Structure 1
Amino acid sequence: MIEHSRTGPVLRHAVLIGFALIVLFPFVWIVMASFKTQIALLMGQWRFAPTLFSYDSVINGKTSDFVTNFKNSSIIAIASTTIVLSVATLAAFSLYRLQWADWVLRVLLAWSVIFHMVPPITLAGAWYTMFRSVGLDNTYAGIILAHTTINLPMALWMMGVFIRDVPKELVEAAQIDGARTPKVLRYVVIPIVRPGLAATGILCFIFSWNEFPVALTLSQRATATVPLGIGKYAQENTIAYTEMAAASTLSIIPAFILLIVAQRFIVRGLTSGAVK
């Protein structure tokens, strides 16, 4: 029995380590490729002299727009995430704490799920036509509105879970004391759902940062985002593998920092409601 009790945890840890290695291997390969020369990478050399040539080419190259792409992605991701969090929080509070009929809540949430299942690329053509007619094509505003629309259904569901778990007694007590809805949200609801805001915001930021097909349709060189900048290294006649790897490694940094800083919020946000 003692040997069996010791073997079980060891086996589980071995399986978890194996899966972790499978997940991390592509990331490690990309990072290693970014420090290789094109010849060393194509020859499959595992032992090589690290070089920063690819990073220098990506950041300082005359034909590279990666710094601009990085700035564009930062502006778009931060702005769209801010709008999504604001709208989703207000909508969730309205649905779960104001006197709406049950069918309104069910219909809106069901529609959010259906809309979230629609591939964004199917809407990109319509968005391009609409934005072009009002002068928002190739602008930050157009891409921000598109990313806000894409991420809002998920944010509404996540914030709804947290708003729903706020005790009604606290909200009612604040209202009895004369607090109007803005003060109830600011001093009662938001401090309680702060982990949900963090988790939802991080996921929306990452999804906006990594979004490709809609940005490809709605942007040009001046407003191109990081995924588009990475894709430019794959041309018809040649593929700059090492520069692409370097750009990919740099693009991971913002999301990686956010994941480290607020890891516990993401876990709590994704598992909220699973255990009561």
Structure 2
Amino acid sequence: MFTIYAVSDSIGETAEQVAKATASQFNTEIEVKRISYIKDEEDAKKFIYSISDTENSMIISTIVLVEVRKTLTKCCIEKNILINNVLGPCIDTLAKTLEKTPDYKPGAIWDMDSDYYKKIEAMEFAIQYDDSKDNRGIINADVVLIGLSRTSKTPLCMYLANKGIKAINVPLLPEISLPEELQKIDRKKIIGLTIDPMHLIDIRKHRMDKYRRISAEIEYANAERVLQEIEYADRVMRRVNCVIIDVTKRAIEDTALLVMEQIK
């Protein structure tokens, strides 16, 4: 197996995401391992020399500290390990363009500024009002997602929360009337999530198999029931006159981008 080490002098999330994005382009088994908090030259040496000489691997690094970066690169050359520092060249290029010296501060992106607290507040909001636990949250939401069960409403709300956006989701069911609060907000805040019926049936069947709920949810993946729900949701979205996004086989990130473009 080939291994990509995502190495960082902070928590390593950026390096890991780059490593996973790289690995996803190859139809082969690749393991991504996150190595966090390589703070000094000794940490760099200890890590590199812990890698077996027989191991087939490479390193993707977001090390900010220049001396640690140099030591890591030097050790990799000595052990014949490929390394790519994705952050260093970007910092150097911007420093030359701005004619300024960088702070070289590991983890600066995670500093607890106003944006950080905005994200935390948005996450708490999404959890508190998830799945219509309290419709009063609709008034204070930045965006309201409406759609059937299994159209990725909750994960989409959490993703948007990580961008500092207060998102709330309202499930659509023929047996449950729409919250009155929906009539009191700007239509531009409402986003309808639709999905191909056959794809929705497959998702729901998979969920039923996973949790082995047969008698309690027998109608959940029933084709006639799903079509009834789809028709109901379409009528609601037309009546509400909201923007509609088809989430069929669409990644959460892609859907979130469309939502953010809509609400500016």
Per the TM superposition, whether the score is higher than 0.5 is no
Specify which structure has the higher proportion of strand: 2
Specify which structure has the higher proportion of helix: 1
- Give TM-score scaled by structure 2 length: 0.26
